[in-house]
Amino acid sequence: MRIGILTSGGDCPGLNAVIRGAVLKGIQINGQEFVGFRDGWRGVVEDDLVPLGRKDIQGISKQGGTILGTSRTNPFEGEKGGVDNIAAMMERRGIDAIVAIGGEGTLAAAKRLTDAGLKIVGVPKTVDNDLGATDYTFGFDTAVQIAVDAMDRLRTTGESHSRCMVAEVMGRHVGWIALHSGMAAGAHAILIPEQATSIEQLAEWVKSAYDRGRAPLVVVAEGFVPDHENDAHSERGLDAFGRPRLGGIGERLAPMIEEATGIETRATTLGHIQRGGTPSAYDRVLATRLGMAASDSVNEGRWGRMVALRGTDIVHVSFEEALGSLKVVPQERYDEAAILFG
């Protein structure tokens, strides 16, 4: 079997380890051959392929980003898009199946193409860790560690100046990165999209920590919405798929905290630093296992299914199930963390 691999949507540490895992298992055990599509679905609709042999994947599991490039191209759009064109390209290139590595958008596109008869298996990817059908996604552990390193640094400068420090992390719909990094760094408040907190409550936590002689650390997810507002803060226009680009809520909160508490406050937005660089050992192992399982999925003809982590096992779930629910931070996990606030 000849397989085309693509990475689509935002990048995240571990993508290269998935590619390596799939190619190694595929070549050594499953008798498969591989090519890579450049820049996600763009490479599929524009017939832009690169070779993906053993030599091409040597030593890449520790590399951040994706050697194949990524994009937010919609495979149904444009003159060369759509099921018939993609099927014709696959026939011409002798490609039997596609391994699509991406988030819910990429998998939604993959589902539509599979429903129309194409042979596709999925691998979940997102630093936000918001896909319901898998316990963890690779990239999340690395993003959390990067955020914690940054927060440890913010705390020493905050302590020196007796300031309140606000650290903004990623998390469009869910607060997993904020919850885990905030708990690990000993944050005095964690603000997540799932919990519409008031500025008064935030000021109370900040003041209480300050009054104990601490430099308060506030961790906020980019998708957090204060209880007096309706939408997540966005001042950077729309992304290629027409969604608001988030980021900047930390900078907005800083003067509000200062005004409500009288404590000098500074904000730092970590942004794409969280998605860059070398993946953690945990993410490399998870990503490698998912890649190997994707090769097996193709071998077994599990079209329209995604590999996923359940406990310590790699399992297979349908695209439908994979897209079914957003994995939000449960109330009890937030309540548990909130005991440590203030």
Ligand X SMILES: Nc1ncnc2c1ncn2[C@@H]1O[C@H](COP(=O)(O)OP(=O)(O)OP(=O)(O)O)[C@@H](O)[C@H]1O
Ligand Y SMILES: O=P(O)(O)OC[C@H]1O[C@](O)(CO)[C@@H](O)[C@@H]1O
Whole-number Cα distances in Å, 76 to 45, 183, 312: 9, 42, 36
> Residue 65's Cα: distance from chain center in Å?
12
CA 287/CA 18 separation, integer angstroms = 5
304 touches Mg ion (CB under 5 A): no
Is 127 known as a binding-site position? yes
Which of the residues 108 through 137 are near ligand Y (CB under 6 A)? Answer: 126-128
**One of 48, 229, 239, 336 touching ligand Y (CB under 6 A):** 239
246 touches ligand Y (CB under 6 A): yes
Determine the Cα angle at 28 with ends 37 and 96, to 5°: 40
279 touches Mg ion (CB under 5 A): no
Q: Could you count the other beta carbons within 10 Å of the beta carbon of residue 330?
A: 10
Nearer to ligand Y, 232 or 317 (CB): 232
Which of the residues 265 through 294 are near ligand Y (CB under 6 A)? Answer: 275
Nearer to ligand X, 41 or 205 (CB): 41
For the question of residue 128 being annotated catalytic, the response is yes
Nearer to ligand Y, 211 or 239 (CB): 239
By the criterion CB under 6 A, which residues form the site for ligand X? Answer: 8-10, 72-74, 76, 102-106, 108-109, 112, 126, 240-241
Position with the least CB separation from ligand Y? 170
Whole-number Cα distances in Å, 229 to 33, 247, 266, 322: 52, 15, 22, 31
Minimum CB separation of residue 12 from ligand Y in Å reads 7
Which of the residues 42 through 71 are near ligand Y (CB under 6 A)? Answer: none
Whole-number Cα distances in Å, 33 to 86, 122, 137, 158, 236: 19, 18, 26, 54, 42
Phi/psi for 150 (5° steps) reads -65, -40
Which of the residues 76 through 105 are near ligand Y (CB under 6 A)? Answer: 103
Is 10 known as a binding-site position? yes
Minimum CB separation of residue 160 from ligand X in Å reads 37
Q: Which residues contact 138 (CB under 8 A, 6 or more apart)?
A: 12, 13, 14, 17, 18, 125, 279, 283, 284, 286, 287, 290
Minimum CB separation of residue 274 from ligand Y in Å reads 7
Structure tokens at 76: 């149904």
Minimum CB separation of residue 194 from ligand X in Å reads 18
Minimum CB separation of residue 334 from ligand X in Å reads 22
Nearer to Mg ion, 105 or 158 (CB): 105
Whole-number Cα distances in Å, 201 to 52, 260, 291: 54, 10, 44
Catalytic residue among 39, 128, 141, 283: 128
Nearer to ligand Y, 138 or 341 (CB): 138
Q: Is 242 exposed, middle or buried (0-12, 13-18, 19+ CB in 10 A)?
A: exposed
Determine the Cα angle at 45 with ends 295 and 12, to 5°: 55
Binding site partner of 241, from ligand X, Mg ion, ligand Y, none, Cβ cut-off 5-8 A by kind: ligand X
Please report the beta strands in 222-335, taking only residues with DSSP state E, as ranges in sequence order.
Answer: 265-269, 305-310, 313-318
Is 104 known as a binding-site position? yes
Position with the least CB separation from ligand X? 105
Which of the residues 100 through 119 are near Mg ion (CB under 5 A)? Answer: 103, 105
Site residue total, ligand Y (CB under 6 A): 12
Minimum CB separation of residue 82 from Mg ion in Å reads 21
Which of the residues 141 through 200 are near ligand Y (CB under 6 A)? Answer: 170-172
Long-range interactions of 197-201: CB distance < 8 A, separation 24+ = 197/224, 197/226, 197/227, 198/226, 198/227, 198/228, 199/226, 199/228, 199/253, 199/256, 199/257, 199/260, 200/260
Question: Which positions make up the binding site for substrate?
Answer: 126-128, 163, 170-172, 222, 266, 272-275
Q: List contacts with ligand Y (CB under 6 A).
A: 10, 103, 126-128, 170-172, 222, 239, 246, 275
Residues classed as catalytic: 128
Question: Which positions make up the binding site for ATP?
Answer: 10, 72-73, 103-106
